[in-house]
Structure 1
Amino acid sequence: MTPFKSLFSYAVRIHLRKNACLYNHKLIRPSSSANPSIIQSVDNGSAVNIQPDEISHIPVMLNEVMTYLDPQPGHVLIDMTCGGGGHTRKILETVPNVKIYGLDRDPVAYERGVRLQFEYPDRFFPILGRFSELPRLVKAQQIPNVDGVLFDLGCSSMQFEDPRRGFGLSRDGPLDMRMDGDRFPDQPTAADVIEHIDEEHLVKILKCYGEEKRAKKVARAIVEARYMFKRLKTTNELASLIDSVLDSETRLDKLTRPTHVATKTFQAIRIFVNNEMNELNRGIEVAHDILKQDGKLVVITFHSLEDRIVKRHLIGIDMDEPVSRTISQKYRNAASWHNPLDIDSIFDRKWNNLTKHVVAPSFNDMQINPRCRSAKLRCATKNNVQVVKNKI
């Protein structure tokens, strides 16, 4: 084993241990490990080597976002996933005197945000960074407490349709999948992961992050491919390999259209490469800190893993709980003694849900933009409470 493989295998194991979703469904609250000098160089334009393309972007559930976020003149908002800027542009066009800070970890999206800032110089402010970097960025930008926060999770159309990024199946490109681009040169790409990760951990990634039922079979094929012909370097090579392994299966999406059998595998590897679940968990925590009392949180998720994290935060279920239990299930044992602080925390929730159930896109939206077929929207307002955890 080469020194690189040995070090990379060790790094993957450490990453898996930190991503406790793979073991006991806990979410670690990661501290920012970003190098400020790297981010500063990106902000100055010296570290960005990805040129933004004019790829069409259709914002998901635009009418629903406008209804639940309800931006008003004078409001200050943060779009945590600015991306193509569809939601942000709509708010800027329809609501006067509103200020929006557009955060995104993708340098391509940041470049789009810079161009949008020229159109709205005193109302829109692009920020480059991850959710976990936002506390530092808020201090640096001197951002006040805001009236609303918007999350539009998942990959954007410009990421899927750019073959150089390696996110999509429809166009051949390098197996990259890093949302941060080249901001962090030491971050492994998808090709690095599938070349060096061991089979056991790959199975866990595919099961937990992709909910792939044939995870063992797919992982075995990927590992055996290393020794049979060559390294998997492109999206077509990986998709073709998985297709050859699961060629007898037919999978359909929510519109009953045929979907590629490698879709869940691509999703799982992308989530692992970008540490998306832990970033989302940290992002919801930061959103609560920067919102004003009664400020609104609107979150659009695209698969059950994201929605589960958001639901736990909004309902008040701690991330250390093994499963999502209702209050009656948690406290039904009359023989157990419960600390008064635990009982008080039931009534002192951080969030007040405005939607009893998730809001799904309309049929017309799915016809116009099929990629929104799995979208789910949740909305809540911030409660001004201090939840004290029992440390006994």
Structure 2
Amino acid sequence: MSRASHVPVMLDRVVALLAPALERDGAVLVDCTLGLGGHSEAVLQRFDHVRVIGIDRDPQALELASSRLAGFGDRFTPVHAVYDEIADVVAEQGLNSVDAVLFDLGVSSMQLDVRERGFAYAEDAPLDMRMDGTTGITAAEVLNTYSAQELTRVLREYGEEKFARKIAGAVVREREREPFTRSGRLVELLYAEIPAPARRTGGHPAKRTFQALRMEVNDELGALRDALPAALSVISVGGRVVVEAYHSLEDRMVKHAFTALTRLDVPEGLPFIPEGHEPTMRMVTRGAEVADEHEIAENPRAASVRLRAVERVLPARGAHRS
């Protein structure tokens, strides 16, 4: 297991983007994708006055991160939840607002490393892929119950798979012979259905299908769609939301959510901005930032990252938070 796989992507830059929001005493960061706790550990080490609330839907991740961060005592609070529940989590902690929110989207290195979870296509394992193994449908259930049309949609939309229709047809045909239960059989099917010239480019031929199934099983886009406005609503003035996305659909969703609150709400060419129409947020990053070549060489996961950050400059309209 490589150390690189456990180093959070663009860690120093993420901490630098969070820093201005965490300078005051009693500042609170919500790490919405706790994972193994790498980001949270870096923040807790650098800012000795900051409290971190770590959210993760994966009980195993919460257990490992809690053990790792136990030395920080009551400055760290683990919470078992999906990140679209952030507003409820903040309220349950007795807070009206927080100073920073972080999302590091996608699958964690820990989930990829545990063979039995079925996230990785390199080893034969049960087709599970649930981030919270206690609830929801498995990847096997998706493959064995979805229609060819539904499977095509999932593979095309979430995996950007050019051969989605061909793969879906083969899955429906093969499951009649025997239901899918393990990743090895699915990988064999993908090798058979994806033409040889296509297999030689774009990485492992199973990468896109496995990504698509994982996103469907965990409703990742649905959770993010709800989580972004919720996170933006709980940020105090001067607070920041930082997001690392690894999929074009996720990054597009983040871009649109941030743009909506940083754009002037007045007709173009107006000589002044009427009170109440100023943007409530300002963009901190110029577009999406990416990892440098050195980091990508050290940690291949960094190749697809898109990093964006916004800061609240005015209270949310209609809000009365301190």
- Once the two structures are superposed, residues 230-282 of structure 1 have per-residue CA deviations (whole angstroms, 9 ceiling, x without a partner) of 111111111111111114123545xxxxx111211111111111111111111
Assess, with a 3 A threshold, how the Cα gap between structure 1 residues 356 and 231 changes in structure 2: closer, same or farther: same
What is the match of residue 374 of structure 1? Answer: 304
What is the match of residue 281 of structure 2? Answer: 351
1:282 aligns with 2:226: yes
What is the match of residue 7 of structure 1? Answer: none
What is the match of residue 180 of structure 2? Answer: 232
Assess, with a 3 A threshold, how the Cα gap between structure 1 residues 344 and 171 changes in structure 2: closer, same or farther: farther
Cα deviation, residue 135, structure 1: 2.6
What is the match of residue 263 of structure 1? Answer: 207
Tell me the distance in 2 between the aligned counterparts of 1:285 and 1:104.
Answer: 18
Tell me the distance in 2 between the aligned counterparts of 1:55 and 1:304.
Answer: 23
What is the match of residue 95 of structure 2? Answer: 143
Tell me the distance in 2 between the aligned counterparts of 1:252 and 1:304.
Answer: 19
1:360 aligns with 2:296: no
Assess, with a 3 A threshold, how the Cα gap between structure 1 residues 61 and 218 changes in structure 2: closer, same or farther: same
AA matched with 2:115? P
* SS of corresponding position for 1:377: strand
What is the match of residue 32 of structure 2? Answer: 80
1:210 aligns with 2:154: no
Assess, with a 3 A threshold, how the Cα gap between structure 1 residues 225 and 316 changes in structure 2: closer, same or farther: same
1:312 aligns with 2:261: no
Written as runs of structure 1 = structure 2, the 5 A alignment for 1:152-171 is: 152-171=104-123
Assess, with a 3 A threshold, how the Cα gap between structure 1 residues 344 and 312 changes in structure 2: closer, same or farther: farther
Structure 1: which 4+ aligned runs deviate by more than 6 Å? 343-346
Written as runs of structure 1 = structure 2, the 5 A alignment for 1:1-392 is: 57-70=6-19, 71-72=22-23, 74=25, 75-182=27-134, 184=135, 187-227=136-176, 229-248=177-196, 249-253=198-202, 259-316=203-260, 347-384=277-314, 386=316
Kept in 1: contact 2:31–2:102 (CA 8 A): yes
Compute the RMSD of aligned alpha carbons: 2.7
Cα deviation, residue 197, structure 1: 0.6
Kept in 1: contact 2:66–2:78 (CA 8 A): yes
Kept in 1: contact 2:98–2:234 (CA 8 A): yes
Kept in 2: contact 1:202–1:219 (CA 8 A): yes
Q: Which runs of 5+ in 2 are unaligned?
A: none
Q: Which runs of 5+ in 1 are unaligned?
A: 1-53, 254-258, 318-325, 333-342
Kept in 2: contact 1:349–1:385 (CA 8 A): no
Tell me the distance in 2 between the aligned counterparts of 1:165 and 1:351.
Answer: 39
Cα deviation, residue 81, structure 1: 0.4
Kept in 1: contact 2:4–2:299 (CA 8 A): no
Cα deviation, residue 138, structure 1: 2.4
* SS of corresponding position for 1:300: strand
Cα deviation, residue 122, structure 1: 2.2
Kept in 1: contact 2:233–2:316 (CA 8 A): no
Kept in 2: contact 1:190–1:270 (CA 8 A): yes
* SS of corresponding position for 1:120: helix
Tell me the distance in 2 between the aligned counterparts of 1:161 and 1:252.
Answer: 25
- Once the two structures are superposed, residues 86-119 of structure 1 have per-residue CA deviations (whole angstroms, 9 ceiling, x without a partner) of 1111111122111111111111111023213421
Range with greater deviation from structure 2 (159-168 or 56-65) = 56-65
Assess, with a 3 A threshold, how the Cα gap between structure 1 residues 170 and 282 changes in structure 2: closer, same or farther: same
Kept in 2: contact 1:207–1:213 (CA 8 A): yes
AA matched with 1:295? G
AA matched with 1:118? A
Cα deviation, residue 224, structure 1: 0.7
Range with greater deviation from structure 2 (302-311 or 204-213) = 204-213
Assess, with a 3 A threshold, how the Cα gap between structure 1 residues 106 and 240 changes in structure 2: closer, same or farther: same
Tell me the distance in 2 between the aligned counterparts of 1:199 and 1:345.
Answer: 53
Cα deviation, residue 346, structure 1: 11
* SS of corresponding position for 1:60: coil
TM-score (norm 2): 0.88
- Once the two structures are superposed, residues 103-149 of structure 1 have per-residue CA deviations (whole angstroms, 9 ceiling, x without a partner) of 11111111023213421112111111002323333222223421111
Number of residue pairs the alignment of both structures matches: 308
Counting aligned pairs with the same residue, the percent is 35
TM-score (norm 1): 0.73
* SS of corresponding position for 2:185: helix
AA matched with 1:375? V
Tell me the distance in 2 between the aligned counterparts of 1:250 and 1:72.
Answer: 49
